[in-house]
Chains A and B, each alone.
Chain A
Amino acid sequence: MVSLTLKGITRKFGDVTAVDDVSVEIAGGELFFLLGPSGCGKTTLLRLIAGFYAPDAGSILFDDKDVTRTPPHRRNTGMVFQNYALWPHMSVRENVAYGLVLRKVSTSEQNDRVSEALGMVRMDRYGERSPNQLSGGQQQRVALARALVIRPDVVLLDEPLSNLDARLRLEMRDEIRRIHDETGTTMIYVTHDQKEALSMADRVAVMDMGAVAQTGAPRSIYDRPANAFVADFIGETNFVAGRLTRSELPLAVETAVGVLHSTVEPVEELSLGDEVVCSVRPEAIRVSDPDADAVEDTAPGEDTAAREGENVMNGVVRQTVYLGDHEQYSVRLDDGTPMKLVDHRPGRQLAGPGAPVRLTCDASQVVVLGKPG
């Protein structure tokens, strides 16, 4: 179980800075995700770790060993490529055994370890096939076996599931997680799919424009995004723009649809009067008929938010989508801001298109973020 330390890594391609002063620590045995939209530099970072690129600045450490200038074939990483990169002129077994042959492992041990690795990815029956004869998912498993069989210090996965169909993707997520748990190897996993990251990762680094926007466990990133980019990229969210009118907890933000309160400590530093946005997740919003709600929940004219820790916004339903286990609503607030929300008890239809609705959400579900540049 090798830990990784990246210190101030910068890599430029011509005028473009692909990775900009990235520092990350990855603990041994961690399943660490690099998450970001395409072009954010996550694959470049992975390839820097694999040794295919040299950084312009900064250093890479495996445990205490500086590998910044070590060529890729001496780094003992196992990489799973996006296109799997299985060698078409070798059989599945030969593909997997390749790294062992290079490590001069004895033939019998080779056989054992190849079988073990293929067994682990459940491909033991396909050893003699040619990669051309395998489906995408099978190729993906072989690529994984090939990376694992050499018992690498760290396994690098470059969008390994992006070429698979949705069902296979779900299946493989579990598989990879299982294999990670079984082997206990440090893994770095690059993806642009936040669901993959959230469901599998021990920790996630969200990258944007070459820099790490936020690092942390999936839950903390989702609940407490560091900035508007992360909030927007991880899961779905609604933004309501406003100005900060109170900088101590609970925060108060004056918006066009009223004052919103938040009890979440902001990650960024904010000061009074700053232009900010309030991020509210769709599932945090409750919806009710304005009149019925008035009777049911609160008395009119009262400062409900201050009293009950709840924010209230009014709007009109634009569209509803029924999805069986839940129903999605598109609402337009009085000032025109679009909001999405999800109702998980779709047994009852709350309101059809055109109906006025009242939205409420708990102050603990509102995250105040600096307005994105």
Chain B
Amino acid sequence: MPRSRFDLSDLTPGVIAILGVLVVFFGLFLFYPILHVLLNAFYTDQQFSVEFFGLMLQSPVQQRALINSFELGIVTTALTTIIALPMAVALVRYDFIGKGLLGGLALVPMIMPPFVGAIGMKQMFARFGSINLFLLETGLIDAPIDWFGGGGFWGVVILEALHLYPIMYLNIAAALANVDPSLEESARNVGAGGFRLFRTVTFPLMLPGYFAGAIIVFIWAFTDLGTPLIFEFREVVAVQIFNMSTDVHANPLGYALVVFVVLVTLALFYLSKKFFGGRHYEMVARGHVASASKRATSFETVLIWGMLLSITGIALIPHLSVVLTSVTERWFMTVLPSDYTVAYYGQIFAHDLTLLSIRNSLWLSVMSTVIDIVLGVAIAYLLTRRRFPFRDALDAVAMLPLALPGLVLAFGYISGFSGTILDVRVSPVPLLIIAYAVRRLPYMVRAAYAGFQQMSVTLEEASMNMGAGPLRTLWKITMPLVLANVAAGAILSFSFAMLEVSDSLILAIKEQYYPITKAIYSLMGRIIDGPYMASAMGMLGMILLACSLLFTGKVLGRRMGQLFKV
């Protein structure tokens, strides 16, 4: 039987128009700035040089960095899967007391405000940080444990896993929620149970969602900069790129590395598509919702609580220490601060920067998320529902921003649009929004993609058949049905836009445009109370983000509930 796809409308004027918009958007805001930076970098002595690629590949340092990054990606992906899978199963398939709370809590580690997270980690895990001091005082150890030093790689893996598992959890939960329970029931009927059921039925059915998450986690871990920097684990690609691009004497080798990482990412992406692509698990029309959850027995409840609390508990240690830091009057080599104060919160609110930056961040993130939703849904729609030339290329391009360091993109924007109406000197707002949107687009595309893939095409065909044009079908039928997935993608896009660091630091050049991240950075610069003020501001950001998550959850009501099981 031929794949049921529209094709009368393949390459209709509408599709061509959308493709046109996408080509212009990516051309202008992705390829042009990147090429601008790369060509400038490789243009030495009046000629274009590709020698840097050869030098990069020969360098033992870069070789090791590439291997390490690859390892990091694999191990982190595996570890997040191990953490997130039972979590998602527990939260989607079981009903128990406090489910909403735990479901919400599971997402909090994702919202780690930058810079201050690192402060928190150091405060806790330094050799004379709280944890070691506690262990020393209780006599459990007699010499401080070297958390950061000995375990460079381990530390990075564990912290990344603890930071990234919510992404995996969100995707797996969305996928699980969309698996038609009747399929599982019928499998149970023919005698498949327990693990076998999971392996043979549930798992294959939730694969598209799982891979949406796994690809993001892998690429994230592969290109993550923040975590290795905390641990000073330099032998990874992202840190190498960062080092070279922040080198006072700008080293173009870093850009060669960027090109390489982009190629590696695209290759991996392509391979995973080759292997896992083309698999369509459409949900049966009637099986969209009502994923069967069953009451957990009291034993299971205890088990689930134990598992979820211990995972989130560990993942939230840095956040906890940020909370503590933000109310610290004095904290020097003691387990807990010796004096507390709420003065920083007072100062924060007295500060012009605070409200301004909150307003800016909300506005910038909302706008960029709107752009992401529009573009992401359009791309995912085209990818899953239409056939057109270079479809794989579009897919890859949409994923490409994941592999691009924000720093490189931001420099591209600054230099590429200097002197145009988009010059950051005129107003950085448009470029900030676009930068956020471009950087976070992959989350949206993958989430929407999984949604479209799981939704039966006949639901849309039925609408067309009833006389609805493609647009109205999209609006009335498709969108409501992929809303859960789109919401998941939007939440990720929004949250990470709020936490966006590198482009904010570089693009938001005047105080009136500072987003929260740059405000935090700026407060960190305060010599004496910097960390405390920054922590207080970071807390504010975290609370804000948590509130917007909850708010979204409330507004989307039931549908969100299917996702988070709140």
Contact = CB atoms under 8 A, between A and B. Distances in A.
B9 interface: yes
Contact of A81 (B3, B6, B458, B480): B458
B283 to A, nearest CB: 9
Contacts of B472: 102
A287 to B, nearest CB: 41
B16 to A, nearest CB: 15
A76 B468 CA distance: 10
A84 interface: yes
B456 A85 contact: yes
A82 to B, nearest CB: 8
A41 to B, nearest CB: 9
Contacts of A79: 461-462, 465
Interface stretch (B27-35, B156-164, B284-292): B284-292
Contacts of A73: 464-470, 473
B477 A87 contact: yes
Interface stretch (A48-56, A109-117, A173-181): A48-56
A288 to B, nearest CB: 46
B427 interface: no
Instruction: Indicate the size class of the contact surface on chain B.
Output: 20 to 34
A150 B286 contact: no
Interface residues of A, number: 43
Contact of A71 (B9, B290, B458, B462): B9
A132 interface: yes
Q: Sort A-B residue pairs by CB-CB distance and give the 8 closest, nearest first.
A: A99-B466, A85-B458, A85-B462, A88-B288, A54-B8, A13-B2, A72-B464, A79-B465
A348 interface: no
A89 B461 contact: no
A51 B286 contact: no
Interface string A254-293: 0000000000000000000000000000000000000000
A228 B170 CA distance: 56
B465 A77 contact: yes
Contacts of B461: 50, 52, 72, 79, 81, 85
Interface in B298-316: none
A303 to B, nearest CB: 52
Given A52-B8, A79-B461, A83-B458, A88 B467 contact: no
A131 interface: yes
A342 interface: no
A237 interface: no
A76 B464 CA distance: 10
A147 B461 CA distance: 12
Contacts of A50: 461, 465
Contacts of A16: 2
A72 B456 CA distance: 17
Interface string A68-100: 010111101111011111111100000000110
Contacts of B7: 52-54
A103 interface: yes
11 contacts: A16-B2, A54-B7, A71-B464, A82-B458, A83-B285, A84-B286, A85-B462, A89-B480, A99-B467, A132-B288, A147-B465
Contacts of B548: none
Contacts of B522: none
B9 to A, nearest CB: 6
A73 B7 CA distance: 14
Of A44, A50, A73, A146, most buried by chain B (CB within 10 Å of CB) is A73
Contacts of A72: 8, 461, 464-465
A35 interface: no
Nearest to A38: B1
Contacts of B456: 83, 85
Contacts of A71: 8-9, 464, 469
Contacts of A147: 465
Interface of B: 1-4, 6-9, 284-286, 288-290, 456, 458-459, 461-470, 472-473, 476-477, 480-481
Interface in A23-38: 38
Interface string A146-168: 11001000001000000000000
A20 B477 CA distance: 33
A252 B286 CA distance: 57
B484 to A, nearest CB: 11
A346 interface: no
A39 interface: yes
A306 to B, nearest CB: 50
A139 interface: yes
B463 A98 contact: yes
A86 B467 contact: no
Nearest to B476: A98
A43 interface: yes
A76 B2 contact: no
Contact of B468 (A43, A52, A102, A132): A102
Contacts of A211: none
A131 B477 CA distance: 14
B2 A81 contact: no
A132 B286 contact: yes
Contacts of B477: 87
A98 B466 CA distance: 7
Nearest to B1: A39
Nearest to B6: A52
B260 to A, nearest CB: 36
Nearest to A98: B466
B286 A86 contact: yes
B285 A88 contact: yes
Of B284, B286, B290, B466, most buried by chain A (CB within 10 Å of CB) is B466
Interface in A208-246: none
Interface string A292-308: 00000000000000000
B289 A132 contact: yes
Nearest to A76: B467
Nearest to B284: A83
A77 B470 CA distance: 16
Contacts of B288: 88-89, 132
A20 to B, nearest CB: 14
A79 B290 CA distance: 26
Contacts of B8: 51-54, 69, 71-72
A87 B9 CA distance: 22
Of A39, A54, A102, A103, most buried by chain B (CB within 10 Å of CB) is A102
A18 interface: yes
A16 B290 CA distance: 39
B523 to A, nearest CB: 45
Contacts of A74: 467
Contacts of A87: 285, 459, 462-463, 477, 480-481
Given A52-B461, A73-B468, A132 B1 contact: no
B1 A43 contact: yes
Contact of A146 (B459, B466, B470): B466
Given A83-B456, A87-B481, A139 B286 contact: yes
B462 A81 contact: yes
Contacts of B286: 83-84, 86, 88, 131-132, 134, 139
Given A50-B465, A79-B461, A103-B467, A89 B481 contact: yes
Contacts of B6: 52
Given A43-B1, A79-B462, A88-B288, 4 more contacts: A52-B4, A71-B9, A72-B464, A131-B285
